[in-house]
Structure 1
């Protein structure tokens, strides 16, 4: 059974609308800052921090992509997509990022997906709905 986490972008978020390319750019930024950490430690930390390649299929239509694990023993797949939903109370559209684990995803994938979720939510100041149902708020409180 697949599991999903969501980063919802509300009015207090850094952005209210996000594209799949912007999500890829944020993951590339994550990769670059972790590789700099590795350089400072004289250790190949970037491979441990981001052990994936970014793959996109033609049928994705710029709505989703997947991260494919470099070492199939440790990591398999994480799916990442963007979408929008109507808010029941206001009928306004709210954009979100969805992170999904497949049936063959490993525990390593879930750990990395949680890291990526927290990183993206903190950068975008969004509302993070974790795989376990808990919610973390990264937007500024009024």
Structure 2
């Protein structure tokens, strides 16, 4: 069975709506930050921090990002989509690996922190990265 984490933009978030292109920009920023960290460490940290190739797919007018693992023994794939203008979902397919789940948790926390959003994790717990009044 698929597992889903949801990032919700709420009052206090940096923006009130998001699209797939903006999610892609956040992922590219994450990849660049990882590469820069690797340069500082003189190690290919980017390959370990983001072991995926990003591909955009569409069907029936809906688009999503498929992150395919570069090392199939450790990482298979993740799916990221914008289901509502204020919600991003990260989907772990049933055949995903433990590595996929760990990276999905890491990426969902990064996206939620960047957007100052509310994150509903795969295990049902909620993390708040926005200032609550």
Q: TM-score range by the shorter chain?
A: over 0.9
SS in 2 for 1:75: coil
Aligned to 2:112: 121
Unaligned runs of 5+ in 1: 85-93
SS in 2 for 1:63: strand
Unaligned runs of 5+ in 2: none
- How many residues in Structure 1 have an aligned counterpart in Structure 2? 133
Aligned to 1:55: 55
**In 2, Cα distance between equivalents of 1:35 and 1:60:** 35
**In 2, Cα distance between equivalents of 1:111 and 1:32:** 20
**In 2, Cα distance between equivalents of 1:34 and 1:61:** 33
**In 1, Cα distance between equivalents of 2:16 and 2:125:** 22
TM-score by length of 2: 0.96
**In 2, Cα distance between equivalents of 1:80 and 1:4:** 10
Displacement, 1:104?
1.3
TM-score by length of 1: 0.90
